[in-house]
Amino acid sequence: MADHREFARDMDLFHFEEHSPGMVFWHPQGLRLFHSVENLMRHVYQAHDFEEVRSPIALSRSLWERSGHWEKFRQGMFVVGSVAKADNAAADDESAVIRPDYALKPMSCPAHIAIYQSHKRSYREHPMRLMEFGICHRNELSGTLSGCMRLRQFVQDDAHIFCRESDVQGEIGNFLKMVQQIYKAFGYEQFSLQISLRPQQRLGSDHLWDRAESLLIAAVQSLGHSYQLAPNEGAFYGPKLEISLQDQWGRSWQCGTFQIDFNLPQVFDLAFVNEQGDLERPVMLHQAVLGSLERWIGILLEHHRGILPVWVAPTQIAIASISDKASIWAKAIFSRLRQLQIRAELYNEDGTISKKIRALSKRRIPLIAIVGEQEANSQTLNLRCLGASEQQEMSLAQLEQRLLQSNLKF
Ligand SMILES: [Zn+2]
């Protein structure tokens, strides 16, 4: 089976360089694809009452010490130093020391806690749902890096909900609805659930872990989903519900995750004012539907063998004319589709029509409109779908309708 990096080469999506191992150089076509995925997620998160935020990628060591990441996760973080002179250095000493004052965030949790704590919170604001396309860095071992499937820098749909314990079941139900809706839109019909329990290395008392684990299990059971239990595989701050999708090659990929966390609210002393005017501690829920967007795109390319659904394809349709006489009509079609914000391309390379179709097929462009003199005279076009043998003669209005229908509606 072809590797996603081969499709990326044929489609001119992205490449890797040895001076930035585990990090992606996105090309114009690839960034279009990335933006289509991101825009869908933004839309769905908004529809489920999440507010988008953005936080810095570097946060101070003292914050990571407080969150527990410095102690439990430091090997996996990129520590950023600031250059300074040693305290005892002479005035003319040119040597410098690097102070490890910051770390690049491996996840956005402490940053969203900072947003929560930026002013006094009321029960009226809860559940408070924040989401970020968080740029995360994790210092994975170089031998484990594998295209988009394991990276050192990636963007994840990083969401946090601050709420009451009584809200948790509703939020899990909401999360599973988003998972179902989004996975289906990308062409996945099946996924499975796993509940990962407390790991050896963890924050907090057993009493809090008992509460969080039983709450998660009860919520998933009451929603009628079957699941598997995985001892020792939870996050260090809470148990995890993990979603794995099945691709068309029978492989399973863990992508979505939802975590119940009583520990970080305690560590950061989070509180809101309740109906009685008293301070109450929220529960923190962590969620990601896709996880790393780069990895999601890698899995998607392999699942569809590069032939992506029209709504997400970087170039949705190419218009190729057979003769110079037809080129004015081809340009008119192109301009009209661009007006409708369809990602269309006017294909101007020389060569026979079969050569043009071969080149466009290699780039996995899902739709090709062929325009010859006959089509120019009748103001029609000949539409071919990649991977299907039939061709269809249609008017421009019919093509417009077909393309607009392929856009997703949520
Ligand atoms: Zn988190």
d(CA 127, CA 170): 10
Whether residues 379 and 282 fall in one domain: no
- Report the number of distinct structural domains present in the chain: 2
**Catalytic residue at 385?**
no
* CA 113 to centroid of ligand 1, rounded, Å: 9
Domain extent, residue 391, equals 317-406
**Catalytic residue at 158?**
yes
- 78 falls within a domain: no
Whether residues 272 and 336 fall in one domain: no
**Catalytic residue at 286?**
yes
Among candidate residues 138, 198, 202, 343, the one labeled active-site is: 138
Residues lining ligand 1 (ion), CB within 5 A? 109, 286
- 74 falls within a domain: no
Whether residues 9 and 119 fall in one domain: yes
**Catalytic residue at 160?**
yes
DSSP H/E element including 284: strand 283-288
Q: Is 272 exposed, middle or buried (0-12, 13-18, 19+ CB in 10 A)?
A: buried
The pTM assigned to this predicted structure is: 0.93
- 402 falls within a domain: yes
Whether residues 201 and 269 fall in one domain: yes
* CA 326 to centroid of ligand 1, rounded, Å: 56
* CA 89 to centroid of ligand 1, rounded, Å: 41
Whether residues 193 and 48 fall in one domain: yes
Whether residues 338 and 298 fall in one domain: no
Whether residues 291 and 337 fall in one domain: no
Q: Is 267 exposed, middle or buried (0-12, 13-18, 19+ CB in 10 A)?
A: middle
**Catalytic residue at 156?**
yes
CATH number at residue 400: 3.40.50.800
* CA 107 to centroid of ligand 1, rounded, Å: 6
* CA 115 to centroid of ligand 1, rounded, Å: 13
* CA 161 to centroid of ligand 1, rounded, Å: 9
Contact by Cβ (8 Å): 242, 257: yes
- 95 falls within a domain: no
Full pLDDT tens readout for the chain, 410 residues = 789 999 999 999 999 999 999 999 999 999 999 999 999 999 999 999 999 999 999 999 999 999 988 888 888 999 988 777 666 666 666 666 778 889 999 999 999 999 999 999 999 999 999 999 999 999 999 888 999 999 999 999 999 999 999 999 999 999 999 999 999 999 999 999 999 999 998 888 999 899 999 999 999 998 889 999 999 999 888 899 999 999 999 999 999 999 999 999 999 999 999 999 999 999 999 999 999 999 999 999 999 999 999 999 999 999 999 888 899 999 999 999 999 999 999 998 888 888 999 999 999 999 999 999 999 999 999 999 998 878 899 999 999 999 988 877 65
